[in-house]
Structure 1
Amino acid sequence: MLTIAIVDDDDSDVDNLRSQIDRYFDGDPSRYAITRFPDGETFLERYDARFDLVFLDIEMPGVNGMDVAYRLRMVDESVVLIFTTKVTQYAASGYEVDAIGYLVKPVEFYAFAMRMHKAERLIAVRGEVTVPLNVDGASVFLHSRDIQYVEVLDHALFYHTAEGSWKVWSSLKKAADMLKPAHFVSCSRYCLVNPAWVSEVATDTIIVGGKKLGVSQARRKALIQALARYHSGIGSGA
C-alpha cells in the first residue's frame, strides 16, 4: 500500500487530487492510503516519516509550501515530493529540495500519471533498507534485497539469504517494522517473505528462493494481494 500525504488548504483542489489518485489505482482503495493536512505547520508538527509520497501545495497561508519543503528535508531526505501549484514560477526551486516535479492546478490525469510512474520507481528504490543484526556479539549488516525470508524457529529469529542464514534473538514484529519499507509480507504468524524472491504460490505453500514455506489460510488472501501490488509496479521498480 502506498501511503500518501496531501498538504493543501483548498478543499476543491484536494478533492480533485483524490479523484486522480483513485483513478490511477483503478478505484482500489486497498492500494493506497491518503492523509490530508490543511496547512504546512500541521503537517510538520505531525510528520513521522511514515509517508511514501507527499503532494505539497506551494501557495498556502502561513508557511508556504517551499518553506515547508526545506524544513521537511531536514528530518526526511528520502520521502518522494511533488509540488502542486497554480503558477509555475517555483519550478526551478523544487530541485533544491529534491522534488521530482510539480503539477499545475487543476491537476489533469495525464500529467498526474506521468509523475506517479516516476514516484513509484523512486519509492521502490528508496524502499530498500539495511538491517543491522547482532550475531554472537558481532555486528552484521544485511541489505533487504538479499534477504529471502525471515522466520521464527525455537524462539529465535533467522534471516535467510542465498549466502546463508543469520540467527538473532529478536521478535518478528521488530523485523517487520524494519523491513516494511522493502515491502516484506507475512505468509504466516512465524514468517515474513521478500516478494522479490517469491517464484510460486500454491494453495498452502509458497516458494521463496527455492525453499518451500507454509502459508496460513488466514494470511493467504493478503499475501496474494501484496504480491500482485508488488509486481504491478509498487516495490518492483517497474
Structure 2
Amino acid sequence: MINIAVCDDRPEDRESIKKYIAGYFDSNPHNYKTSEFEKGEDLLAEYIDEYRFFDIIFMDIFMSGENGIQTSKKIRQYCQRVKIIFMSTSREFALESYDVFAYGYLLKPLEHEKLKVLLDNYIKEVEANEKSLAIYTRGNIHNIRYADIVYLESKNTVVIIHTADKEKYKIYDKLDNMELRLENRRFLRCHQSYIINMDYVISVDKEFKTKTDERVLIRKRSLREIKEKYHKYIIDKMEW
C-alpha cells in the first residue's frame, strides 16, 4: 500500500491532484490510499499524535499558518524516507527545498507529464527496493535489500557491505565484481575501494557524508566528475 498525502489549502487543487493520482493508479498494479489536509499543522499532527507515516506528500508551499517548507522541516524530524513533492506558483523556494531533501518541485498549474515522471520514478524505486543482493558468508546465504545498503568497502581480498542498521557483511570478492552485480543508478563507484549508495548521502565535499554518520572517500583525481554525477542524480530525482 502506497500512502499519499495531499496538503493544500485550496480544495480545488486538492481535488485536481487526487483525480490525477486516481487516474495514474488505474493503470498501475500498486495499491494506494490518498489522504488530504488543508493545513500543514493538520498533516504534522498525524506524525505527532497519530504516529502515522506517508510514502509521498504533495505539499503546497503558500498556505495559511506555516508554509510548506516550515512544515516539511518538522516532518523530517519524524521521518526521513517520505518523498516530499512541493507545489507552488513561484520558484522562490526551489533552492530551499533542498534543505528538506525534496523529491520534486512543481509549478502550478501542474503539468501532468511532470507528475507522471515523478510517480513513475517513485514506482521504479519501490520495485528496485524489493531487489536484493544475495551473498554467501559464514556458511549462510543472506539477501540484502538494495535499499538497505549504505556503501561497500574493499579491503585486500574482502568486500565489506555496510547497511543502514549498522550490520557489516564480509565476503571474499572483488569490488569490480560487486559493481557489476549492483547495476542500479543509485550506486556510484566513487573510489578504488568504495561504492556509495547515493540515496544515503546528506552532503559532499572531499568525501561523502551519509545519513548513518559515516564518511566515504572520493577518488581525488576524479573529485569533480564524481560530484557532478552525484548532483545529476539528485537533480534527475527532483524532475523540476
Q: TM-score, normalised by structure 1?
A: 0.50
In 2: Cα distance, 1:123 partner to 1:84 partner: 23
Cα gap change, 1:71 to 1:105, in 2 (>3 Å): same
Going from structure 1 to structure 2, the CA distance change for 1:40 and 1:5 (only over 3 Å counts) comes to same
CA deviation vs aligned residue, 1:113-172 (integer Å, no higher than 9, x gap): 01112222344456789xxxxxxxxxxxx76649xxxxxxxxxxxxxxxxxxxxxxxxxx
Check whether the contact 1:8–1:37 (CA below 8 A) recurs between aligned residues: yes
- Offset at 1:70? 0.7
Provide the residue aligned with 1:13 in structure 2. 13
Change in CA separation of 1:30 and 1:101 when aligned onto 2, cut-off 3 Å: closer
How big is the alpha-carbon RMSD for the aligned residues of Structure 1 and Structure 2? 2.9
Q: Can you give the 5+ residue segments of structure 1 that lack an aligned partner in the other structure?
A: 130-141, 147-238
Identity over aligned pairs, percent: 31
Of 111, 115, 134 in structure 2, the residue corresponding to residue 112 of structure 1 is 115
Aligned to 1:168: none
2:171 corresponds to which residue? none
- Please state how far the C-alpha of 1:3 moved relative to its aligned partner: 1.0
Kindly state the Cα deviation for residue 92 of structure 1 after the two structures are TM-superposed: 1.2
What CA deviation, in whole Å up to 9, does each residue of 1:6-57 have, x standing for no partner?
A: 1111101011101111121126797211011110111111123431111111
Letter in 2 for 1:10: R
Q: Deviations over 1:155-202 (max 9, x none)?
A: xxxxxxxxxxxxxxxxxxxxxxxxxxxxxxxxxxxxxxxxxxxxxxxx
Q: Distance in 2 between matches of 1:77 and 1:4?
A: 15
Structure-2 separation of matches of 1:14 and 1:123? 24
For the residue of structure 1 that corresponds to 2:77, the secondary structure is helix
Partner of 1:2: 2
Q: Secondary structure at the match of 2:95?
A: helix
TM-score by length of 2: 0.50
| CA–CA separation in structure 1 for the residues paired with 2:30 and 2:98 | 32
- Alpha-carbon distance between aligned partners in 1 of 2:128 and 2:30, rounded to the nearest angstrom: 22
1-structure distance, mates of 2:37, 2:64: 13
Rate the CA distance shift 1:122–1:30 in 2: closer, same or farther, 3 A: closer
The answer on whether the counterparts of 1:6 and 1:56 sit within 8 Å (CA) in structure 2 is yes
Using CA pairs under 8 Å that are at least 6 residues apart, name the structure with larger relative contact order, 1 or 2: 1
**Residue 89 of structure 1: how far off its partner (Å):** 1.5
Please give the secondary structure, in 2, of the residue aligned with 1:110: helix
1:6 aligned partner, one-letter code:
V
Cα 1:78/1:128, change in 2 over 3 Å: farther
Classify the secondary structure of the residue corresponding to 1:19. Answer: helix
The gaps in structure 2 that reach 5 residues or longer are: 133-141, 147-240
Pick from 78, 82, 87 the counterpart of residue 85 of structure 2: 82
User: 2:9 corresponds to which letter in structure 1?
Assistant: D
Measure, in 2, the Cα distance between the counterparts of 1:46 and 1:7: 12
C-alpha deviation, 1:4, in angstroms = 0.3
Partner Cα distance (1:57, 1:32) in 2: 21
5 Å matches for 1:114-133? Answer: 114-124=117-127
CA shift for structure 1 position 90: 1.1
CA contact (8 A) 1:83 1:101 kept: yes
Asked if 2 retains the 8 angstrom alpha-carbon contact of 1:13 and 1:105, the reply is no
Alignment partners' CA distance in 2, 1:105 and 1:17 = 11
- Shift of the 30–96 alpha-carbon distance from structure 1 to 2, 3 Å rule, reads closer
